[in-house]
Structure 1
């Protein structure tokens, strides 16, 4: 059985908009604070969750390209934001539905993302160690995960 192939594209706010928000410095509202020693890019994303939101730390094992995609998931009761705690880019995979072709994005250094509530997406996929992320999502995890396993996997290439 031959894998299906998708090419990872650079992560941009416009391309990612149907699936979520790109979280990064440099665009949008900014103001100088702390005696003009710090720039604050305000309101980069807003958690959309049923119930309390929490901040967790994830330490994911790095993967390599080409990457074999055989599982996507979604969280119907809340958005999820992934903020890398290193400068290393990571792979972001999204799909409109389990039966649609996924899209893959490569982040630039220091870019994070927030998936919209209910967005089908791949698992956290750092490409270099350490795979450290701050994650903002729904505190309660029960009844907030749907998974889809592909019968024929996809291969993500650069």
Structure 2
């Protein structure tokens, strides 16, 4: 669950290269959602949502720009989460696979941590249990469409302090 842990002052800073998001490279973490023509039949290439463990909540969250460095990663065990920038702005997210999504004590596999750039016309669905840090972006503020459960931020916010557990913090590196 959510816990406030002071940052470690001796954690090593690791560069995390940001790559353009693609369906195949993002698949271990969730689903890349791209526009399709109206009337297209539902298929395996679309988000398979898990929203049956509570009341679904769809809202627009306003986020402020942060330094593209993180020391903590989070996951939600009860729900898939869908994110998209409401204003069509590009953004970045770091993810680690949803290993052991039913074990709240399971740590993230930081050897499989990746960073993706999501274009403003794209959305993502994080698989249930996917570790994530972000969104991060260049603008001062960006609104995001967010689909999760009504109590996700209260009771389904499982964090790992990467600096304390693994002695690292990560910096997004673009270009």
- SS of the equivalent of 2:95 reads strand
**How far 1:130 moved relative to its partner?**
3.5
Could you list the runs of 5+ residues in structure 1 that have no partner in the other structure? 33-39
**How far 1:63 moved relative to its partner?**
3.4
- SS of the equivalent of 2:169 reads strand
**How far 1:42 moved relative to its partner?**
6.0
Higher strand share: 1
What is the distance in 2 between the residues matched to 1:110 and 1:133?
12
Could you list the runs of 5+ residues in structure 2 that have no partner in the other structure? 1-9, 98-106
**How far 1:3 moved relative to its partner?**
0.8
2:146 aligned residue (130, 135, 150): 135
What is the distance in 2 between the residues matched to 1:135 and 1:54?
8
- The reply to whether residue 53 of structure 1 matches residue 56 of structure 2 is yes
2:66 aligned residue (63, 68, 71): 63
What is the distance in 2 between the residues matched to 1:108 and 1:155?
20
What is the distance in 1 between the residues matched to 2:41 and 2:137?
25
Aligned to 1:124: 135
- SS of the equivalent of 1:122 reads strand
Deviates more, 1:40-49 or 1:130-139: 40-49
Aligned to 2:6: none
The one-character-per-residue Cα deviations of 1:77-110 (angstroms, maximum 9, x if unpaired) are 0011012111210001101352423200001231
What is the distance in 2 between the residues matched to 1:42 and 1:112?
17
RMSD: 2.1
Q: Is the 8 A contact 1:47 1:136 kept in 2?
A: no
Aligned to 2:88: 87
What is the distance in 1 between the residues matched to 2:42 and 2:63?
28
Superposition TM-score, scaled by structure 1 size: 0.81
**How far 1:125 moved relative to its partner?**
1.9
Superposition TM-score, scaled by structure 2 size: 0.74
Higher helix share: 2
Deviates more, 1:47-56 or 1:4-13: 47-56
Aligned to 1:157: 173
